[in-house]
Amino acid sequence: MGTYLSPGRECLSCLKYKQCKMIIMSDISQDTEKKEMYLKTHQHGAETLIAVCDCDILGKKFTEGHLKIEVTADFFGGEKASCSEVAGALVKATMANFVGCKAVEHAISLGYVERDCTLSIDGVLYAQMVRM
């Protein structure tokens, strides 16, 4: 079964970046214009869903127990985006899906996701946001 990721615990998609908590202090905060995530906007009537994933996991499938996520180009693969572009898109979002260490950590840093509300599916971070 998917596990909740506690602070300081590593996810597999972050092993090359040390730990997720380190990304927020180094990569994300210092290089906000580097395009390391995919961003796609889905509009359905009054609802705006933003899908964000790390570039290196697009097209991959992750399964753990009964949980499964497929990071498809149809859903997540819009344009490569920087942290500031993701932040700008999230302002108008009524819902959002985040997959991968950089995407989830950025959502946490912006206040859209609480760290305790993230999942690790087969070692990859996953989170959702719904604006009520």
Domain that holds residue 109: 3-130
Count of structural domains, the chain: 1
- Band the pLDDT of 31: cuts 50, 70, 90: low
pTM for the structure as a whole: 0.79
Contact residues for 119 (Cβ-Cβ < 8 A; gap 6+): 2, 3, 4, 5, 67, 125, 126, 127
Higher pLDDT pick, 7 / 81: 81
Note whether 69 and 99 are within 8 A (CB). Answer: yes
Helices 83-90 and 101-110 pack at an angle, to 10 degrees, of: 60
pLDDT at 132: 86
pLDDT above 90: percentage of residues in the chain: 73
- pLDDT of res. 32: 59
Question: To the nearest whole percent, how much of the chain has pLDDT over 70?
Answer: 76
Q: Which two tokens stand for residue 89?
A: 């898109």
User: What's the pLDDT band for 33 if we cut at 50, 70, 90?
Assistant: confident
Q: In this structure, what CATH number is given to the domain that contains residue 84?
A: 3.30.1860.10
Q: Phi and psi at residue 40, in whole multiples of 5°?
A: -135, 135
Instruction: Please tell me which residue, 35 or 32, carries the higher pLDDT value.
Output: 35
